[in-house]
Amino acid sequence: MSEALSTALPPVKRRNAELIMLLLAIAITLFAMIEAGLTRNDEMPAQLFLFGGLFGGLALLAHVFIRFFAPYADPLLLPLATLLNGLGIAMLWRLFEATGDTTNGSAQDQLILTAASMVGFAGIVFFLKEPRVLQRYPYIMALGAVILLLLPLIPGLGMTINGARQWVNLGVTSLQPSEFAKIALVTFLAGYMVTKRDVLSLVSKPVKIGPIKVLELPRMRDMAPMAVMWGFCIIVLVILMNDLGTSLLLFSTFLAMIYVATQRSSWIILGLSAFFGACTLLYPFVPHFRTRVVTWLDAFSPEVFCTDEIIANSTDAFCVTAGQNSQQLVQGLFALGEGGILGAGLGGGKPGHVPEVQNDFIFTAFGEELGLTGVMVMLMALALLAQRGMRIALASRELFIKMFASGISFLIAFQSFVVIGGVTRVIPMTGATIPFVAKGGSALLSSWIMLALLVRMSNNARKPAPVAIQDEGATQVITR
Amino acid sequence: MSDLTLMLIKLAFLAVLWLFIIMAVGVIRTDLFGPATSKAKRGAARRSEPRRPKPAPQRGRRNEPRSLVVTKGPLAGTTLDLSSQPIIIGRAKDATLVITDDYASGRHARIFSDNGRWVVEDLGSTNGTYLGQNRLTRPQPLSVGQPIRIGKTVLELRK
């Protein structure tokens, strides 16, 4: 019981600490642009004031907004997000504007998307005063998540980009609905776990080998939600949409949340073995899945990498038949190796060698130019963000908020792992983006929405409890 | 721009990045352990007054409760001054506040200070402790004026 007490956060505001950290994050963004400009073009970036004014102004506005509407929020959330977002903008500026080639995207677009995302952030912090109201609609949330995930499958609406069918064409712009489906799914899972927690955690069937109890398995009927989740992740996402990243992300988030709710490792063992079992079984039958695994395992073989020699001489080499090669992955690894400990300095490397470096592989651009030292800062920032989220979960009094906050922080952490693991060849390449950093409006907006939810929840967790109205007659009224 | 300058800019940038992380960890540290005191100050304090217990951290706060008052029940009017010691309430002889109430257990509830915040905890009593209208299931922070009911006795914190 005393544990529950010590996890509560002291009711302090600490907005000035946030302001100082925020100013430092903005300064780092501008410093990064100046460094890139000086290194590449030998001059201060001409757009420095535009970017500094807009980005800094937006971040400071968000800070003032928090001061008024969520004064007890955690002081680190906004500065960490600003740092990551700012580093992303600076890197995109260095990749596009500083090289004079803005055909693949530009930092200005990213700046506009950041502004839009911050508006979304402010809207959520302002309108969602009590995140627990989301608890009322778990099944609508689940339906919403499924619809969002399936939207790209509708002919005419869905678009396939880089082999993954995860985009929706809205005419003026394209959206990646799976980014928002994640949040809806976490909301559903949090609400669902609150109602089903006791059943999922208490009822069990021991599995014994001789006299020793090896594992406590849940009853068959309690496994239904996991079976549904598993089937959905495997069939829809992997087979139909080739969206391995989202599939892995959603299923592991589900496992993490069920573990948080029940504290039973048997769920994780069961879930992981089901997921990997399915992947192993599917491996020979789903060609695009096999392609991904081969480009991961044999990335350095000439047949997979597609050297000029192979293209010229061989018609049945892997990369020719599969239509995919491992050049992006291998070039990315070379870029990371080139960076070494201290990196080449922003603007000093050649990140352009990595195809599509502005999306998933922006991490390798950071690795090349900032080195291990700089990349560790990025990882630390992501880790601290996830840590603050878990802290909010610990400090909150309500079960739903605990589940919700831990789900969101796990999502941030695991998404970073999926991307960076893919880029560094720890796991097969999937198609996810580092939160806040990579180019892309949907990813940015969903990251800021998650941040808004965390800010709101931390404010409510830290806020001192309201003083109770004096109870005149001590009549016992039991309310449920 | 010479290579040396660029090199220095590069190192300065990495240093600033790490400064950010270190400051962020500092903010978390303050969350965990309270504001840091400088080494010199701490050393001086240790030399001049060794082993003196720390002064109450939040003295002089407006909402700092000073006493526990019984407002209803057989002991109505009794006042207990709060110190940093926990207060045990119950029928047992060794309780800090011995209440003669048929509905109270021997060691019924405990009120203690958790870093300046007062918290009430039910010690597994038979008839329960009520904070306001809700029966306690776990320790709950208390604020001034909130009624705690134990059997027929009602207590509250006063400034």
ipTM of the complex: 0.88
Report the pLDDT value the prediction gives residue B152, as an integer from 0 to 100.
Answer: 84
Whether B108 is in a domain gets the answer yes
3-class state of residue A298 by DSSP? coil
Whether B29 is in a domain gets the answer no
With CB atoms and an 8 Å threshold, state whether A39 touches B1. Answer: yes
Least CB–CB distance from A470: residue in B25, B145, B149: B145
With CB atoms and an 8 Å threshold, state whether B9 touches A476. Answer: no
Report the pLDDT value the prediction gives residue B23, as an integer from 0 to 100.
Answer: 95
Report the pLDDT value the prediction gives residue B55, as an integer from 0 to 100.
Answer: 47
Whether B40 is in a domain gets the answer no
Q: Domain total for chain B?
A: 1
In order, the DSSP letters of A95-157 are HTGGGT--SS--HHHHHHHHHHHHHHHHHHHHH-S-GGGGGG-HHHHHHHHHHHHHGGGSTTT
Cβ neighbors of B123 (< 8 A, separation 6 or more) are B88, B90, B105, B107, B108, B109, B110
Spatial contact of A347 and A33, defined as CB atoms under 8 Å apart: no
Provide the total of helices (H) and of strands (E) in chain A, helices listed first: 18, 5
For residue B20, the distance in angstroms to the closest alpha carbon of chain A comes to 7
Strands (E), chain B: 67-72, 79-81, 87-90, 97-98, 109-114, 117-122, 129-131, 134-135, 140-142, 148-150, 153-158
Residue B67 DSSP symbol: E
Whether the per-residue pLDDT at A7 is higher than 70: the answer is no
Least CB–CB distance from B24: residue in A6, A80, A371: A80
For A318-361, write each residue's pLDDT tens digit. Answer: 777 777 788 889 999 999 999 999 989 898 888 888 888 888 88
- Cβ neighbours of B24 in A, within 8 Å: 21, 76, 79-80, 381, 384
Whether B148 is in a domain gets the answer yes
- Between residues A444 and A432, which one has the greater pLDDT? A444
Nearest residue in B to A77, CA atom: B24
- Binding-face residues of B in 19-38 toward A, CB within 8 A: 19-21, 23-25, 27-28, 30-31
- Cβ neighbours of B132 in A, within 8 Å: 468, 471
- Note whether B86 contacts A: Cβ–Cβ < 8 A: no
List A205's β-bridge partners, or say none.
A217
3-class state of residue A449 by DSSP? helix
Write down the residue that tokens 């994640």 correspond to.
Answer: A182
CATH code, domain with B127: 2.60.200.20
Whether B20 is in a domain gets the answer no
Highest mean pLDDT, choosing among A413-422, B1-10, B51-60, B100-109: A413-422
Whole-number CA gyration radius for chain B? 25
With CB atoms and an 8 Å threshold, state whether B13 touches A31. Answer: yes
pLDDT (mean) for A164-176: 74
When pLDDT is cut at 50, 70 and 90, the band that residue B92 belongs to is: confident
Whether B149 is in a domain gets the answer yes
Whole-model pTM: value is 0.77
Report the pLDDT value the prediction gives residue A26, as an integer from 0 to 100.
Answer: 96
For A258-298, write each residue's pLDDT tens digit. Answer: 999 988 888 888 889 988 898 888 888 888 788 888 888 88
Whether the per-residue pLDDT at B43 is higher than 60: the answer is no
Burial of residue A134 (number of CB atoms within 10 Å: 0-12, 13-18, 19+): buried
Whether B152 is in a domain gets the answer yes
Least CB–CB distance from A346: residue in B13, B139, B146: B13
The domain in which residue B134 lies consists of 67-158
How far apart CA A399 and CA A363 sit, in angstroms, is 36
Whether B7 is in a domain gets the answer no
CB pairs under 8 A between A and B: 123
